[in-house]
Amino acid sequence: MNKNSARSSFSKSLLSWFEKEKRPLPFRKSKDPYKVWLSEIILQQTQMETGISYYNKFIARFPNIGDLAKADQEEVYSIWQGLGYYNRAKNLHKTAIIVSKNKGRFPEKYKNLIELPGVGKYTASAIASICFNEKKYVVDANVYRVLSRAFGIKTDIKKSKAYNEFHSLTSSLAKNIKNIGDYNEALMDFGGSVCLPKKPRCKTCIFKKKCFAFKNNMVEILPIKKQTKKIKNRFFNYFVFENKNSFLVKKRDKKDIWENLFEFYLIENKSVKKAIKSLNKSITINLPTPEKKSSSASLSHQKITVFFFRYLLQKKEDMNALKKTFKMKMLNKSEVKNVGFPKVIDNYLKSHS
């Protein structure tokens, strides 16, 4: 697009498109800040289809923020299970407790919303604009993608200056718009349904005649995003102590991935032999030959190779001895669904149920 002539028509065309094509998402049925907030937290790092499924689960179990505030953290984690980035679930519960103390009313101003746990610039802007029509503009992956392609912006979006540049642009595009919430939703919807990261629908795009990326064959190049973060390789050896009715589990309480989720006894070591040797040195009972299964977990900054060693123990006293040695919790198999596990362990449990 020509940066001068097209900017004035961009928002008008976008809103016209949104009026006809906006997706009938469940959290759009009202401007309830609880539902908007919940959807925004869930949809961080989550695809829309998956996010809607989890949103519906949460609303069914917690129809209002007071219900969510009263829940045990473990129940919140169990419903969240599979979404990843579990710090979101932790902050979700924290915020629910804070807001419920204010008679369930969310702050109406961006400056107060951003003080809530887990609510950053994007989420605070979304709630403030959609629910309270405050003139705050969202900048997320969709906004970076749509605007960089439409206007040919080649700033690396990983750089700190990118946020201010794109925020300035989107606010200038919407300066004559009365309903900022609709504008923000339209921009996000367009990025989520037309201007996609892969296989964008350029042929049906309302901006294709003026789009810089389309005209210059740069759709696959923009936005510019240089990878700088190194992937860390880790090796988890899980020892699954199990009998007919129960497992031994332990909560992860260190400042690390999967904090506050439950897991089996873990020894982190690249060498399986050294891990097993370390286990045997720590115990006084004789263990049966384990069943072994491998798996993996990919996070944005870590690749984890996982081995499960399943020990089927016949004697209850052996389970109790291991429970005491490793300071673990005895979990009845019927309770597994009520406890939050990392996805890699949840998948393992499903395959052995």
Reported pTM: 0.80
Architecture of domain 7-215: Orthogonal Bundle (1.10)
Under DSSP, the state recorded for 293 is E
Single-letter amino acid code for the residue at 137: Y
210-226 confidence digits (pLDDT tens): 999 999 999 999 999 98
For 232-351, which CATH class? Answer: alpha beta
Q: Does position 2 have pLDDT exceeding 50, yes or no?
A: no
70-127 confidence digits (pLDDT tens): 999 999 999 998 888 888 999 999 999 999 999 999 999 999 999 999 999 999 999 9
Enter the tokens of residue 209.
């005649």
Q: Are 238 and 345 in contact (CB under 8 A)?
A: yes
pLDDT, average across residues 33-41: 97
Higher pLDDT, 261 or 6: 261
pLDDT at 336: 86
Q: Does position 274 have pLDDT exceeding 60, yes or no?
A: yes
- 40 is a catalytic site residue: yes
pLDDT band at 351 (very low <50, low <70, confident <90, very high): confident
pLDDT, average across residues 231-238: 95
Domain ranges of the chain: 7-215, 232-351
pLDDT, average across residues 232-243: 96
CA distances from 111 to 105, 123, 235 (A): 15, 12, 42
Under DSSP, the state recorded for 337 is G
Cα separation of 1 and 222, whole Å?
Answer: 14
39-84 confidence digits (pLDDT tens): 999 999 889 999 999 999 999 999 999 999 999 999 999 999 888 8
Q: Does position 6 have pLDDT exceeding 70, yes or no?
A: no
pLDDT at 226: 87
Residues sharing a CB contact under 8 Å with residue 149, sequence separation 6 or more, in sequence order? 195, 200, 211, 212, 213, 214, 218, 219, 222, 223
Q: Does position 22 have pLDDT exceeding 80, yes or no?
A: yes
pLDDT at 5: 52
What's the half-sphere exposure (Cβ side, CA atoms, 13 Å) at 71?
25
Ranking 53-57, 133-137, 175-179, 273-277 by mean pLDDT, the lowest is 175-179
Selecting among 19, 21, 40, 115, the annotated active-site residue is: 40
305-338 confidence digits (pLDDT tens): 999 999 999 999 999 999 999 999 999 999 888 8
Helix/strand/coil for 266: strand
Q: Does position 134 have pLDDT exceeding 90, yes or no?
A: yes
pLDDT, average across residues 275-282: 94
